[in-house]
């Protein structure tokens, strides 16, 4: 009987964790942005990654060339952005 309870408990835990969504982050240079459609493309090194935004307002002040970090989750094969953080520009150092 104990084995049956353990198996049932494991099944409940697996089912509960199946719905857990883990957020990820990516930083890069903005290559393309469309606030109306809620689309953003970042370049990091040699890769370009496209994102969809939950709200177009998240990227309303983002421009091509900005350095940003996005927090996103994946759903149905799409990367859905929930937060956009602009990286501060480094001050120029003179001679």
> How far is residue 82 from each of residues 8, 71, 79, measured CA to CA in Å?
35, 6, 10
Domains of the chain: 28-87 (2.40.50.320)
Give the number of residues written for the chain.
95
CA-CA distance, 17 to 12, in Å (whole number)? Answer: 9
Average pLDDT, the chain: 83
**Residue range 56-88, pLDDT digits in tens:** 788 989 999 999 999 999 988 899 999 999 988
Regarding pTM above 0.85, the answer is no
Question: Buried (b) or exposed (e) across 75-92, using 16+ Cβ within 10 A?
Answer: eeeebbbeebeeeeeeee
Q: What tokens were used for 44?
A: 């990091």
């Amino acid at each position: 009987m104990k084995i049956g309870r353990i198996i049932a408990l494991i099944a409940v835990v697996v089912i509960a964790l199946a719905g857990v969504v883990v957020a990820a982050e990516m930083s890069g240079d903005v290559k393309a942005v469309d606030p109306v459609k809620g689309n953003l493309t970042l370049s990091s090194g040699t890769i370009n990654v496209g994102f969809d935004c939950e709200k177009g307002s998240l990227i309303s002040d983002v421009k091509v060339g900005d350095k940003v970090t996005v927090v996103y989750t994946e759903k149905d094969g799409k990367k859905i952005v929930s937060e956009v953080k602009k990286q501060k520009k480094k001050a120029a150092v003179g001679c």
